[in-house]
Chains A and B, each alone.
Chain A
Amino acid sequence: MTAALNIAGDATPLPLVPPQLVTTQPLLRMEGIRRRFGEVEALGGVDAAVYPGEVLGIVGESGSGKSSLLRMMNLEDTPDAGSYHLAIPDHAGRNLFDLDRYQRRMLCARRIGIVYQNPHLGLLMGNSSSGNVAERLLIAGERSFATLRDKARAALDASEFPLPRMDAPPAQLSGGMQQRVQLAKAIALEPTLLLLDEPTTGLDVSVQALVLDTLKRLQQERRITMVLVSHDLGVIRTMADRVMVMRRGLVVEQGLVDQVFQDPQHPYTQQLVHAKL
């Protein structure tokens, strides 16, 4: 156990101030997200905004609600209360939680990419890697075999996956390669929003670094808007522009990455930042 720490304290999080100079609207806006699983309040009223081209990092310990929030962004779950808006054609002004299952599936296939920590959640491990990537294009309505294969190849290539192995099933690939297949599947349709749930957790340090390099390069070249969940502050520091710190289903602090790491305000964030070995 760590030394007892008065986490509650008087450190109420700073309010999220609306921008005064930047007039571009957020790409993603969530308000008042609440979700209870039995006795546990996984999300206790969370607001979030992500601007186009930005990388938002979400940190927090296990059970903080960060992955639950990401699943909401991927429309895998519906909150007990709250709204979710993406500024994309056909859906502006619409609470995406009101969409039915089919609409959600189409929206996700066309607009949202996700990479899970566990590749089993994102891939069919026995199918070919190229087939996994093509599946997503199929759902979105692509029917020509040649186009499917070309697009799958291009996405795998952009994810720095070795193309000679594109027909091998993920089950035969290393962890790092499996993550590259997930990434290729996620970016195959040039998503508006890329969600990353602990994408490099569990990989060897050297492999982790290479996967992060690929992500960073893709982000810079394509200005993909990303939400990255990780408990690893180094990953967040490398990738994110802004960071949200979650604890027990609430956002306790958010700010520019350098500010949150160099001048953390909340007792929990201070504990987290100083917990480095």
Chain B
Amino acid sequence: MTEPILSVRGLTKRFRMHQIDTVLPTFDGISLDLAPGEFLLLKGRNGAGKSTLLRTLWRSYRPVAGQILYRARAGIIDLATAADIDVAHLRRTEIGFVTQFLTARPRVPAQDIVAEPLRLAGESAADARRAARHWLNEFGVREALWGAFPSTFSGGEQQKVNLARALIMPQRLLLLDEPTASLDAGARAALIRRLAELKAQGVAMIGVFHHPQDVEALIDREIDLTPDSPDTKAPDTKAPDTKERADVAL
């Protein structure tokens, strides 16, 4: 069996709200393994913590306990406690997050928003723009809109720009938070094609989908986050060791 790219162990998230002196529990003691090229569907009722889990893996949220052992190219690292600069580096190079909303900077043309991840990864402006146009076209954004500001677009068009940006770089791990919401049939088909292509290249994916039938053909495994479901208890494999690492320059 291939080594997992991600091994989550005992992951727990609670939100402590000081002003009202309250602790909001979400998920508790989640464990799971994910192999390269595997597609894992997160299930569970509203509020079970599906999106919260994705954001915790992305480190927008800080877990209160547990490990998120990610097998980076340079070595294994625990994203639960990793330095911010390491997390920022992995977000630029290895881990992608596809959300249902575009949070684009205002006054930036669609094609530049889409090209930005490639620019940050060091590609030339011309190459990045060429790739951006390809993906805008692929997701069905009309050419007339490529130079316009997405803040003026409809929700569906914004989402297409968002997908083109999020999927322009081949990452090693993709977190998907309802990316099919508000898409028309053509864009949905383009998204599924792209995800299938990435999956075949070995990209591992964890996703939340309101309509899982959209991605049925891609799903390898499902886990239910509803408390007391047996799916998230510890896999019997041992968590990997984090010792060996290579150098990474910025």
Contacts and interface: CB of A to CB of B under 8 A. Distances in A.
Contacts of A265: 16, 62
Contacts, number: 95
Given A19-B83, A220-B116, A263-B15, 11 more contacts: A5-B19, A19-B86, A24-B249, A216-B105, A220-B119, A242-B84, A256-B88, A259-B61, A262-B55, A263-B60, A265-B62
Contacts of A18: 83
Contacts of B250: 22, 24, 51-53
Interface of B: 15-19, 55, 59-62, 72, 74-75, 77, 81-90, 105-107, 116, 119, 242, 245, 247-250
> Dominant SS at the A interface?
loop
B12 to A, nearest CB: 14
22 contacts: A6-B18, A11-B18, A14-B62, A17-B81, A19-B83, A19-B85, A21-B77, A21-B82, A21-B90, A21-B248, A22-B83, A22-B86, A23-B248, A24-B248, A54-B85, A220-B116, A256-B60, A262-B55, A263-B15, A263-B55, A263-B60, A263-B61
Nearest to A254: B84
B88 A274 contact: no
Contact of B83 (A17, A213, A220): A17
A22 B17 contact: no
Nearest to A27: B250
Given A262-B60, A271-B19, A256 B86 contact: no
A63 interface: no
A20 B75 contact: yes
Given A5-B18, A51-B85, A209-B106, A263 B119 contact: no
A20 B78 CA distance: 10
A65 to B, nearest CB: 21
Interface string A125-163: 000000000000000000000000000000000000000
Given A220-B119, A263-B62, A20 B19 contact: no
Contacts of A19: 82-83, 85-86
B248 A255 contact: no
Given A5-B18, A267-B19, A209 B248 contact: no
